[in-house]
Each structure stands twice: as C-alpha cells, then as structure tokens.
C-alpha cells in the first residue's frame, strides 16, 4: 500500500481519531488536576470571633477551614470563662485552609496560682507582677519609711500572704508601701481615653487607689474608656482614691465628653498657675 493510499484508508482515520481523542482526554485531566490544585490554595476570610465563647467558635461554619490553637489564658474580672480575648490572624484577614488560628481566652474560674513575693519591689513592678498572673490590687496603704515607693508588706483579707501561697485568679491583694517625709505626693497619670484595665494599672503604679467606677450603658472591656475622673488635681497625695467614669468609644458622645473634660483640665490648670503667680 502506497503512502497516498494509507492516508486515504479507514485505519488511518481511526488511528487519527484515537490520537485526537487521547489528546483531548489528556487536556481534560490536566484541567481537572489544575482546578483541584487551585482550590487547594484557595483563601478564606478569617471571621471575627473575639468576644465569643471558645465552644461557640469551634461550631461556627466559617471556622471549619481553620484549626484553633489556644496559646494563652488570662483572668479578667466579670469576663465569662472561655471567652476569646484576642485572635491571630485578625478578623477579616485572608488565610488558606488548615491555617492555625491562635487564641487568647479568659481563664476558667477556679484557676489557682502561686502568690509571688512583692516585698522589696518597687510599687510599679509589684503592680505589674500581681496583675500579670490575674490577681487584682485592693488598697495601697502608705507608711513613713526611708525608701519611697518600696513595698514592705502584702496582704489578703487583712492578713499577710506569703510567697507561694495558693490563690485564685481574681483575688484581691493589698499592698503596704513606704513613703518618705519629702515624697508624699504623686502626679495624676494620663488615664483619659484608657480602658478600665489600663487606667487601673496606671493609677496603682502611681500610688493611687481606684474608687467608684461608673459606666454609661453596658460595660465593655475593650471599648469602655475613661472620659472623666475625680479628683482632677495634677498633684495628689499618695494613696488618694480616684473615681472613674467610662463611656463606650463607639458611642456618638464619646469624643465630645472626652474633649470637654480635656478642656476642663486645661482651664483648671491655667487657673491654678494664675493663683500660684499671685501668691508668689
């Protein structure tokens, strides 16, 4: 059979059809494999689970592409145990399937910790040490001594509490701190616009006690912020009690109340400086 006759033969067209068909089958296989690979690299939106209970977050459909990993637990007063305090990656970021979502949650009630020894620490360091393990500061009482702002005793319920004593997160610790005859005052820290936790730590570290706390609307750990406080003096006697007023920073009146109080402070400071000049 000549080459010309072969190209006209039935077997040639059958073989040609098989070759073309195989080519298209191969193309389809490559297409589906690439599609599967592309889906494997698909990115999903990380939902906002902050403020939810960990059990609730685990059941969310939006969380099904991800793996949840708890990396820390922190005690927060009045925050239900298991509440998600922070997440990484943050909400609305993009992540691939199987990405680990790292969470910090509110510790479960009944957690016990060992009481650290804060004696001979500076007041600022003692406040940080105590609050870092989920305890709270109660009263800071000052006594005359030789070294300013040094903790000389730590108490719980009016009794001395020793190092390594088992305490529960949220327990209140009172501190007795030295002050010298020449150093009996402290400056009011900048707490305006701070959250409750931030404001309390700043006040305690400055040697001031936290008094009455009022909240406009529902209390919110992340959004309730200081818009005013009393007393408003810049220089205060160590151990002075400061009352606080909070407003949610998402409310329309938050910025106005904060700004009005800032203006009030400026006027009071200007007035005080004027009286000082007159007295001099």
Summarize pLDDT for 46-71 with one digit per residue, the tens: 999 988 999 999 999 999 999 999 98
For residue 248, what pLDDT is reported?
Answer: 94
Same domain, residue pair 94 and 137 = no
Q: How confident is the model at residue 35 (pLDDT cuts 50, 70, 90)?
A: low
DSSP state of 121: S
Tokens at 125, concatenated:
């360091």
Final residue of a domain: which of 132, 159, 182?
Answer: 182
Summarize pLDDT for 168-191 with one digit per residue, the tens: 888 999 999 999 999 999 999 999
- Would 6 be classed as within a structural domain? no
CA distance 158 to 61: 50
Q: Are 224 and 247 in contact (CB under 8 A)?
A: yes
CA distance 112 to 63: 31
Same domain, residue pair 92 and 61 = yes
1 or 227, greater pLDDT? 227
Summarize pLDDT for 215-258 with one digit per residue, the tens: 998 888 788 999 999 999 989 999 999 999 999 999 999 999 99
Same domain, residue pair 148 and 76 = no
Geometric angle at alpha carbon 188, from 158 and 210, rounded to 5°: 30
Phi-psi region of 34 (alpha: psi -120 to 50; beta: other; left: phi over 0): alpha
Q: How confident is the model at residue 148 (pLDDT cuts 50, 70, 90)?
A: very high
Q: For the chain, what is the domain count?
A: 3
Question: What CATH code is carried by the domain that includes residue 48?
Answer: 3.30.10.20
Same domain, residue pair 259 and 209 = yes
Question: In this predicted structure, which of 55-69, 77-91, 119-133, 246-260 has the lowest mean pLDDT?
Answer: 77-91
Q: How confident is the model at residue 279 (pLDDT cuts 50, 70, 90)?
A: very low
- Would 22 be classed as within a structural domain? no
pTM value? 0.66
Tell me phi and psi for residue 276, to 5 degrees: -65, -40
- Would 64 be classed as within a structural domain? yes
Summarize pLDDT for 153-164 with one digit per residue, the tens: 999 999 999 999
Round to the nearest angstrom and report the end-to-end CA distance of the chain: 127
Burial of 65 (C-beta count, 10 Å sphere; 0-12/13-18/19+): middle
Same domain, residue pair 194 and 272 = yes
Report CA torsion sign: 77, 82, 83, 85. positive
Average pLDDT, the chain: 86
Q: Is 275 a residue whose pLDDT tops 50?
A: no
Same domain, residue pair 198 and 279 = yes
- Would 91 be classed as within a structural domain? yes
Question: In this predicted structure, which of 32-36, 95-99, 133-137, 236-240 has the lowest mean pLDDT?
Answer: 32-36
- Give me Rg for the CA atoms of the chain: 33
For residue 112, what pLDDT is reported?
Answer: 84
Q: Is 25 a residue whose pLDDT tops 50?
A: yes
Tokens at 129, concatenated:
């040490």
Q: Is the backbone peptide bond immediately before 89 cis, with ω within 30 degrees of 0?
A: yes
Question: In this predicted structure, which of 20-24, 104-108, 141-145, 246-250 has the lowest mean pLDDT?
Answer: 20-24
Final residue of a domain: which of 106, 124, 154?
Answer: 106
Tokens at 4, concatenated:
């010309």
Same domain, residue pair 191 and 274 = yes
Same domain, residue pair 123 and 171 = yes
- Would 134 be classed as within a structural domain? yes
Same domain, residue pair 278 and 218 = yes
Q: How confident is the model at residue 272 (pLDDT cuts 50, 70, 90)?
A: low
Domain holding 177, by residue range, is 111-182
Same domain, residue pair 188 and 206 = yes
Final residue of a domain: which of 148, 182, 216?
Answer: 182
Q: Is 277 a residue whose pLDDT tops 80?
A: no
- Would 13 be classed as within a structural domain? no
Q: Report helix, strand or coil for 108.
A: coil
- Would 12 be classed as within a structural domain? no
CA distance 24 to 18: 10
**Helix H or strand E encompassing 102:** strand 100-106
- Would 36 be classed as within a structural domain? no
């Amino acid at each position: 059979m000549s080459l010309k006759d072969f190209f006209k033969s039935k077997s040639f067209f059958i073989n040609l059809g098989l070759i073309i068909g195989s080519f298209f089958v191969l193309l389809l296989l490559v297409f589906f494999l690439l599609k599967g690979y592309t889906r494997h690299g698909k990115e999903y939106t990380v939902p906002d689970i902050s403020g939810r209970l960990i059990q609730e977050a685990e059941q969310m459909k939006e969380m099904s592409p991800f793996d949840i990993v708890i990396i820390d637990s922190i005690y927060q007063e009045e925050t239900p145990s298991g509440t998600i305090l922070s997440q990484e990656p943050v909400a609305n970021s993009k992540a691939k399937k199987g990405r680990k979502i790292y969470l910090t949650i509110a510790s479960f009630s009944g957690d016990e910790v060992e009481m650290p020894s804060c004696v001979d620490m500076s007041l600022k360091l003692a406040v940080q040490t105590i609050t870092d393990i989920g305890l709270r500061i109660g009263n800071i009482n000052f006594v005359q001594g030789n070294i300013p702002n040094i903790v000389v005793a730590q108490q719980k319920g009016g009794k001395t509490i020793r190092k390594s004593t088992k305490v529960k997160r949220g327990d209140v610790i009172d501190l007795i701190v030295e002050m010298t005859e020449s150093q009996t005052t402290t400056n009011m820290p900048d707490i305006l616009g701070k959250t409750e936790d931030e404001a309390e730590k700043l006040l305690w570290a400055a040697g001031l006690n936290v008094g009455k706390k009022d909240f406009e609307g529902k209390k919110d750990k992340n959004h309730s912020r200081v818009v005013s406080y009393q007393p408003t003096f810049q220089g205060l006697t160590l151990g002075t009690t400061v009352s606080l007023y909070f407003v949610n920073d998402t409310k329309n009146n938050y910025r106005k109340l904060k700004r009005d109080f800032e203006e009030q402070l400026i006027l009071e400071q200007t007035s005080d400086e004027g009286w000082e000049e007159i007295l001099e």
